[in-house]
Structure 1
Amino acid sequence: MADLRKRLLVYTAASIMIAMKLLSAECRDPVLHRVGGGRFTWNPDINFTEWSSHEHFYVGDWLYFGFDKKMYNVLEVNKTSYEKCIEREFIMNITKGGRDVFNLTEPKTYYFLDGRGHCFKGMKVAVPVEQYFPPIIDTQPPLLFPPNNNNNNPQPVFLNNGFPLYACTHIILISTALAFSFLF
């Protein structure tokens, strides 16, 4: 029984290490986006629409709002409130201390504005968040058999079209299943 536990621990650790190695190749690290582009740029002097149009936001990324908390704050609002600069009935007040972060947890457009009257001066930002999919590596799968024709430009016959992994969770599941298959 102790031998089985030891083997289970070794294979679990191995599967976690394999998964982490594969994930580092297939996933991306979260990015911290400084809203407005700088350290303390949540203020009316920034064109936030222009700034956000040059960024790519993915699920898991973070927004950093740097500002003077005595003058400004940050409210998450819905689209209507964003468009009309409505400061009440907000979704969440993310203001804590003037150097605040917000995690982008789902693929949707997030809306933020200043709730102290500066929204009409441009202190609002829409953040379109996408799900991240790793790039597909274009590799040719193995040949099933060489072409058997006499033309000068033979076309290879492929075994399959391959199957790229689109989500990082697949890698964890596959490596864990492989590790546990050695147990029994």
Structure 2
Amino acid sequence: MAGRGRGSASSNGALAVALLCAAAVILSSAMPAEAGTTYHVGDAAGWTHNVDYGQWLAGKTFHAGDMLVFKYNATYHDVAWVSKGGYRHCVVSPKGGRAPVYRTGNDTVRLPSGTHYFICGSPGHCQAGMKLAVKVY
């Protein structure tokens, strides 16, 4: 058994361990970042009338990457992502040049950092309280 000294086996073992560690580091860096928290707006009631969204927000801290899920009856409601002025005046006004309006009845929005404003664009609904302002860290 020429060429196999006592140190060969331990050198190969150390090399194998080093390669496994390197592979683990590479794989962990290639994995996607941890997904944010998903919040169902209005909890079981969803996005509808007679929900106190200010109370729903109480105690929640939102971070960039968190998701808001709006579930609602698309026959009567929608979700408009609006500017601060649009929120204040219940008008579907552009945020950054356009106001995305969602109408599927089951919409998910990933939140970037900043303050974001959502209203129901159906006539009178925002004035009746279907509006949400979310501060995201």
Q: Please classify the TM superposition score into its range, dividing by the shorter chain length.
A: 0.7 to 0.9
Determine if the alignment matches structure 1 residue 59 to structure 2 residue 97. no
1:97 to 101, 104, 112: 104
1:86 to 87, 91, 104: 91
Alignment of 1:11-90 (within 5 A): 13-19=23-29, 29-38=35-44, 40-89=45-94
Cα distance change on mapping 1:65 and 1:82 into 2, 3 Å: same
Secondary structure of 2:127's counterpart equals helix
1:128 to 120, 127, 135: 135
Counterpart residue identity of residue 117, structure 2: Y
Distance 2:84 2:119 in 1: 11
Distance 1:93 1:19 in 2: 34
Counterpart residue identity of residue 119, structure 2: L
2:118 to 105, 109, 112: 112
Distance 1:81 1:94 in 2: 13
Cα distance change on mapping 1:18 and 1:42 into 2, 3 Å: closer
- The CA deviation at 1:77 is 0.5
Distance 2:103 2:86 in 1: 21
Cα distance change on mapping 1:37 and 1:11 into 2, 3 Å: same
